[in-house]
Amino acid sequence: MKRTLLLFLKGAAMGVAEVIPGVSGGTLAFITGIYEELLDTIKNILGPEIFRAFRKGGIKAAWAKANGPFLAFLLPGMATGLIGGVFVVTKLLETYPQLLWAFFFGLILASVWYIGKRVGHWSIAEIVGLILSSAFAFYITIAAPAQGIEAYWFIFICGMIAISALILPGISGSFLLLLMGMYTVIIP
């Protein structure tokens, strides 16, 4: 019971994170310790093993191969967090924009600090990577957002890009939407 509630809450945190520009659901999955299991689950669902399991053992075997119990609590949590986050974050951005952006910045710094602690030994390659990625991150924060196109095909492509960023730690799907000029179109 405790694991299922924790999975739901971790999913909710990931869902809320996807609404916040600059905060990544993948980073939260990493921080909360479910990132590897999430990757393995996605690999099992998208790979041929699930079909083999279904052929050999039916739905029950496919459900086990797809890590169904994990997804049964994580996905509803993500949906709850995403839907709740859209309304709460939108209202808070209208009412308390400076405080909310300061909170977001604090979340981003905490994520960077936590992931930085996980690096065992900082070699020259890691330091150069940190400097280059920091310079790139700074550049995209000062870059002017693109003008969004409200055509359905463009919204679809932007949605695909944002969803792809969901699983990558450190890449915020909502921030990518903001850069593509589609954040307020998709999340009104």
188 residues of the chain, pLDDT tens digit each:
788 999 999 999 999 888 887 778 888 888 888 999 999 999 999 889 899 999 999 999 999 999 999 999 999 999 999 999 888 887 888 898 888 878 877 877 777 787 778 778 888 988 898 889 888 877 766 766 666 677 888 888 888 888 888 788 778 888 888 878 888 787 76
Question: Phi and psi for 47 in degrees, rounded to 5?
Answer: -90, 175
Measured CA to CA, the distance from residue 124 to residue 167 in angstroms comes to 27
Please state, in angstroms and rounded to a whole number, the distance separating the CA atoms of residues 113 and 117: 6
Q: How many residues does the chain have?
A: 188
Confidence (pLDDT) at 7: 96
Q: What is the pTM of this model?
A: 0.75
pLDDT at 167 (0 to 100): 80
The pLDDT of residue 172: 82
Give residue 162's pLDDT: 85
Gap between the Cα atoms of 26 and 14, Å rounded: 7
| pLDDT score recorded for residue 55 | 93
Please tell me the predicted confidence (pLDDT) of residue 18: 85
For tokens 């924009």, what's the residue? Answer: 97
